[in-house]
Amino acid sequence: MSDQYDIIIIGGGMVGASLVAALKKIIGESHNNKKIAVVEAVPVNSESQPSFDDRSIALSYGSRRIWESMGLWASLAPEIEAIKSIHVSDRGHLGATRITHTEEKVEALGYVVENRVMGRVLMDEVGSLNHVDWYCPATIEALEQTEQQVSVQIKTEQGEINLKTKLLVAADGVLSVTRQLAGLGVKREDYKQSAIIANVLTDQKHQGIAYERFTTSGPIAFLPMTENRYSVVWTCREEETSRIMQLPDDEFINALQQRFGFRAGVIEKTGERFSYPLAYTETEQLTKGRVVVIGNAAHALHPVSGQGYNLALRDVAELAEMIVSNEDPGHPLLLAEYRGKRLKDMRRVYRITDSMVKLFSNNISLVGHLRASGLIAVNLISPIRSLVARQSMGLLGRMSKLQRRLPL
């Protein structure tokens, strides 16, 4: 292993590994010989890798295009379920909206896949590439930067190692140590909610329908999965979480059924439950000198809009495109350009996600009526519905080459 790199990525989870996959085709090419290192805290392929856990992700149609461009979609396809339509409703009110793939003229509005499966496909692809050194398990301890390069000190099982790079990418999650070491601040808002996830079986075939139901204590999503299962994301108030988590399975099923209703049928069986505290965090600055922050390290969003990874993948696609076309991938002017290109999309997704959380977790009756009329209006006015659909499919605004299925 060398100690001099073009790019060092701290964090080889969903987003860090996706960046390596996006860059894969150009790594080691004679005209673009970039040397990359990944520093990852948890042993590769370990069952306890927190990024590749039991959650499921709703991948947008736009993310599918990026996975296709990365040459990975075919490996994922056998283990995904297509979302053919989305049904949005508000508990206690009449309004509802339906968005369908036929109306949007796409094969599917999105796809549901388990994080564990995505992790496996990603690691099979990028875990043993020439020109990519994996330092794992290893964590970042210190960083220092000059105009020309960033020096990082990492802690490995063999002791401390010093590495140098032109570009340092922080992809080490919401508590990013790299972000702190680079001196980048964060804005944080605790939603005082948790997401409880579980896979359930009902007595009906899901037919590719995803349900999002808003309740006064938070939204509940039923996402269609393989083997006719649903991946449930039940957002509840912080103080309810431990009680719901401790319920015996039959009581959990009853409580969920009562809160969600019977649209998806009678719940017959549930798998293991996991809970995640929910907060909004956003890095105040996406870049500093030769350091760029991506993924949850840059923006951790409420899962209500299913946009965290989809947004991060668009960041990855743009960053990869810029890295490829530049001799010095970490030049501060290049990173400033990246920031300029990505901010609009990020801000739009933050705004939509945050308003959904606040508007739909509000039980003031007037707000409830406005919400209901909003949902009815969206359902009746086709251009608005299409706009909402295009946003959730990740097809609004500027598109990177990978998103347009073009080679880098």
Ligand X SMILES: Cc1cc2nc3c(=O)[nH]c(=O)nc-3n(C[C@H](O)[C@H](O)[C@H](O)COP(=O)(O)OP(=O)(O)OC[C@H]3O[C@@H](n4cnc5c(N)ncnc54)[C@H](O)[C@@H]3O)c2cc1C
143 binds ligand X (CB under 6 A): no
User: Rounded to the nearest whole angstrom, what is the least distance from the CB of residue 252 to ligand X in the complex?
Assistant: 17
Q: Which is nearer to ligand X, 200 or 331 (CB)?
A: 200
> Could you say which residues in the range 155-214 bind ligand X, by CB under 6 A?
171-173, 177, 195, 197
3-state secondary structure of 286: coil
Rounded CA-CA distance 242/60 in Å is 31
Which of 139, 149, 193, 241 touches ligand X (CB under 6 A)? 139
Quick one: 129 exposed, middle or buried, by C-beta within 10 A (0-12, 13-18, 19+)?
middle
Q: Which is nearer to ligand X, 53 or 337 (CB)?
A: 53
140 binds ligand X (CB under 6 A): yes
User: Rounded to the nearest whole angstrom, what is the least distance from the CB of residue 1 to ligand X in the complex?
Assistant: 16
Q: Which is nearer to ligand X, 92 or 277 (CB)?
A: 277
Which of 16, 218, 329, 368 touches ligand X (CB under 6 A)? 16
**Structural tokens at position 315:** 């960041």
User: Rounded to the nearest whole angstrom, what is the least distance from the CB of residue 89 to ligand X in the complex?
Assistant: 19
Rounded CA-CA distance 286/335 in Å is 9
> Could you say which residues in the range 290-309 bind ligand X, by CB under 6 A?
295-296, 303, 306-309
Give the residue among 335, 349, 220 at the shortest CA–CA distance from 282.
349
Q: Which of 12-20, 119-127, 329-337, 349-357 is the region at the interface with ligand X (rule: CB under 6 A)?
A: 12-20
By residue count, the chain amounts to 408
Tokens 């692809």 map to which residue?
A: 125
* Pairing assessment for the beta strands 36-39 and 218-224 based on DSSP bridges: unpaired
Which of 10, 132, 201, 316 touches ligand X (CB under 6 A)? 10
Helix/strand/coil percent split, the chain, to 5: 40, 30, 30
Q: Are 322 and 337 in contact (CB under 8 A)?
A: yes
Binding residues (CB under 6 A) for ligand X: these are: 10-16, 39-42, 49-51, 55, 57-58, 139-140, 171-173, 177, 195, 197, 233, 276, 295-296, 303, 306-310, 312
